[in-house]
């Protein structure tokens, strides 16, 4: 018999597992928190610090940076969708094996810009060899890559930041996803790259099966289409993978009212009896806002137009009220102070306004700044 559930129950379960309904206790290893999120998007590092900090009691950005650069329990590298994430270092064997087993989609670049599969493998191997035991800037790494591959890898073919990047940078994300590259501490204002500690990858099939179950634990019930969108993977491949896991009894279907059947890990069919009530502030590209589906239920009504950018989640920081997006916000930092402007899309109750103030104070603690709350129109546009 198929288990039936509601959006409110699904939302409450996800928020609980994301440490959003209640933060992880003080002292919880941050790698455990990041693992529960399936990575913290870190293209904007301060946003990643806030994503992690709001989920772990007593955590500040200093704690996140210590885990990242000192004890190395976190790694900044390329994760799902090829985008920069913080990942738990002990999970790299799973992440790298699973991500490299995902078939690539169609290249967005014209034929004259692309690299062949053989060239991509040469570049990734050269990156891993060049970064073993050292930290290099992009320019330094480029010199090492060209010395190991050839001048062709340095052709300026990739439009980026009002300039052109060399051909080898087309596959930097693949180097990160395979474990050949991760970020090192900045050298002044320059980004550096290094290689994470060597590890033994998991067998690809084992990694993919574990990866799907982990995704469903964090963000299920979900469809193959949801999984493919989150991972930027071919939809047909995801459908075949879910069918294989369903046939093997590793995942099972549940019913969500008015929606196509979705999947959870086998036996993981318990949902909270009560819906979540509360206010939360999620920064740019927070894992929950990006991964939770169906998106029209998470971004209901006016939130669809105001808090999404062309249907894409993450480009605006969002205000969650009772588990759904109910506004946007923006912070402007000046020295030790930060002004947090929140634009609710509806009227907040007195209780919700109090909770909003508490959330702003917590954000200030994480970012080690003195916050000021302003309720009004957010004039900043979406992040690129």
**pLDDT, tens only, 284-342:** 999 999 999 999 999 999 999 999 998 899 999 999 999 999 999 999 999 999 999 99
User: What are the CA-CA distances from residue 111 to residues 34, 157, 162, 169, 315 (Å)?
Assistant: 38, 11, 21, 16, 30
Phi, psi angle pair for 100, to nearest 5°: -75, -10
The CATH code for residues 109-197 is 1.10.10
Please report the DSSP string for 66-94 in residue order. Answer: IIIIIS-SEEEEE-GGG-EEEEEGGGHHH
The predicted model gives 120-139 an average pLDDT of 97
Query: What pLDDT digit, counting tens, does each position of 236-272 carry?
Result: 999 999 999 999 999 999 998 888 889 999 999 999 9
Residue 222 to residue 326: CA distance in whole angstroms = 23
Is pTM beyond 0.75? Reply is yes
Q: Give the pLDDT confidence score for residue 261 in this predicted structure.
A: 85
Decide if 208-265 and 279-375 have a common fold.
no
- Phi-psi bin for 257: left (phi > 0), alpha (psi -120 to 50), beta? beta
State how far the Cα of 20 lies from the Cα of 18, in Å rounded to an integer. Answer: 5
Confidence bin at 1 (pLDDT 50/70/90): low
- pLDDT value at position 274? 86
Min mean pLDDT across 24-33, 38-47, 150-159 is at 150-159
Confidence of residue 106 (pLDDT cuts 50, 70, 90): confident
pLDDT at residue 160, as a whole number: 77
Tally of CB atoms within 10 A around 306: 17
d(CA 48, CA 318): 14
Q: What is the pLDDT of residue 336?
A: 93
Between 257 and 203, the more confident residue is: 203
- Are 6 and 323 in contact by the 8 Å Cβ rule? The answer is no
Report the alpha-carbon distance of residue 364 to residue 168 in Å, rounded.
Answer: 40
Burial 223-261 (b: 16+ CB within 10 A, else e): bbebbbbbbebeeebbeebbeebeeeebbbebebeeeee
CATH classification of 279-375, choosing from 3.30.1050, 3.30.1360, 1.10.10, 3.40.630?
3.40.630
Determine the average pLDDT of the residues in 150-167: 86
- Residue-averaged pLDDT of the chain: 95
Quick one: pLDDT at residue 120? 94
What CATH number has the domain spanning 208-265?
1.10.10.10
Residue 284 CB contacts under 8 Å (≥ 6 apart), including other chains: 41, 44, 47, 314, 315, 316, 317, 383
Residues contacting 53, CB < 8 A, separation 6+: 59, 60, 61, 63, 64, 365, 366, 367
Report which DSSP code applies to 104: P
Kindly give, in sequence order, each residue whose CB lies less than 8 Å from that of residue 77, ignoring residues fewer than 6 positions away: 84, 85, 87, 176, 177, 181, 182, 183, 196
* Structure confidence at residue 219 (pLDDT): 97
For residue 135, the model assigns a pLDDT of: 97
Task: Indicate the domain borders of the chain.
Answer: 109-197, 208-265, 279-375
Helix (H) or strand (E) holding 51: helix 45-53
Do the beta carbons of residue 324 and residue 294 sit within 8 Å? no
**% of the chain at pLDDT higher than 90:** 89
Per this entry, what is the length of the chain? Answer: 384
Look at residues 267, 182, 277, 217 and name the one whose alpha carbon lies nearest to residue 38: 217
């Amino acid at each position: 018999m198929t288990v039936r559930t509601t959006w409110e129950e699904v939302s409450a379960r996800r928020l609980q597992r994301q440490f959003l309904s209640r933060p992880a206790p003080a002292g919880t290893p941050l790698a455990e928190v990041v693992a529960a999120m399936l990575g913290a998007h870190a293209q904007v590092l301060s946003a990643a610090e806030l994503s992690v900090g709001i989920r772990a009691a007593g955590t500040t950005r200093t704690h996140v940076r210590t885990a990242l650069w000192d004890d190395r329990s976190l790694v900044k590298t390329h994760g799902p969708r090829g985008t920069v994430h913080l990942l738990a270092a002990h999970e790299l064997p799973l992440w790298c094996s699973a991500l490299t087993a995902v078939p690539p989609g169609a290249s967005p670049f014209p034929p004259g810009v692309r690299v062949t599969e053989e060239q991509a493998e040469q570049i990734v191997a050269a990156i891993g060899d060049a970064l073993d035991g050292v930290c290099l800037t992009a320019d330094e790494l480029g010199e090492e890559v060209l010395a190991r591959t050839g001048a062709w890898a340095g052709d300026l073919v990739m439009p980026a930041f009002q300039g052109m990047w060399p051909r080898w940078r087309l596959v930097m994300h693949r180097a990160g996803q395979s474990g050949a590259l991760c970020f090192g501490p900045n050298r002044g204002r320059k980004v550096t790259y290094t290689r994470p500690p060597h590890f033994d990858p998991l067998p690809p099939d084992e990694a993919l099966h574990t990866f799907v179950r982990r995704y469903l634990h964090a963000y299920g019930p979900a469809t193959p289409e949801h999984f493919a969108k989150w991972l930027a993977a071919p939809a047909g491949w995801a459908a075949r993978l879910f069918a294989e896991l369903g046939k093997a009894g590793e995942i099972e279907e549940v019913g969500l009212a008015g929606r196509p059947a979705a999947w959870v890990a086998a036996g993981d069919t318990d949902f909270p009896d009560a819906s979540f009530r509360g206010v939360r502030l999620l920064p740019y590209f927070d894992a929950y806002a990006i991964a939770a589906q169906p998106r029209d239920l998470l971004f209901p009504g006016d939130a669809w137009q105001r808090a999404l950018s062309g249907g894409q989640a993450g480009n605006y920081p969002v205000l969650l009220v009772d588990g759904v997006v109910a506004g946007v916000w923006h912070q402007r930092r000046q020295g030790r102070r930060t002004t947090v402007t929140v634009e609710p899309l509806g009227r907040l109750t007195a209780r919700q306004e109090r909770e909003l103030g508490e959330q702003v104070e917590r954000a200030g603690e994480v970012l080690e700044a003195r916050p000021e709350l302003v309720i009004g129109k957010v004039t900043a546009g979406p992040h690129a």
